[in-house]
Amino acid sequence: MTGPTLPPDDLPQAARRLGLGLLAMCRNRFELISVELQEERARLIQALLMTLGIAVLGLLAGISLTGAVAILLWEHSPGLVLIGMAAIQASSAWFLYRNLSRLLAAWTPMQGSLQQLEQDREALQRILS
C-alpha cells in the first residue's frame, strides 16, 4: 500500500512549502540558540565576578584569621600554629576544589536548545519514515 499521491502540479508547491517550513524551523532554532548563548554569557560573567569577589574577600579573611591566631598562640608553639593553620587552609581549598569539580561535571550549557533540536530530529524521522 502506498501513501497519498499528489498530482504533478501540486508537487512543486508541496516541495516549496516543505522548504519554507524547514527554513522557518531552522531560523527559530538559531534564534533560540542565540538567546541561550547570550543568557549563558551573562551567567558566566556574573559567576566570574562573584567568584572573584569571594576569592578576594576570602583571602583577606584568611590572612586576618591566620594573623590573629598566630599572634594569640605564638607564645605556646609557633611551629604548631603555622602547621595547624596551613592544614586548615589546605583542607578548605580541597573542599572547594571538590565542589567545583562536581559543579563543572554536572554543567550542561544550552540544554533547552539541545532538547529542542533532539525533538526536531525525532519529528523529522517520524515524518520521513
Q: Where are the domains of the chain?
A: 10-106
How much of the chain exceeds pLDDT 70, in percent? 91
Note the pLDDT tens digit of each residue in 91-112: 888 888 888 888 878 877 767 7
Quickly list H helices, the chain: 10-73, 78-106, 111-128
Give, to the nearest 10 degrees, the angle between helix 10-73 and helix 111-128. 150
Q: Please determine, for residue 3, whether its predicted confidence score (pLDDT) is greater than 60.
A: no
Q: Please determine, for residue 9, whether its predicted confidence score (pLDDT) is greater than 80.
A: no
Does this model's pTM top 0.75? My answer is: no
Top pLDDT among 109 and 59 is at 59
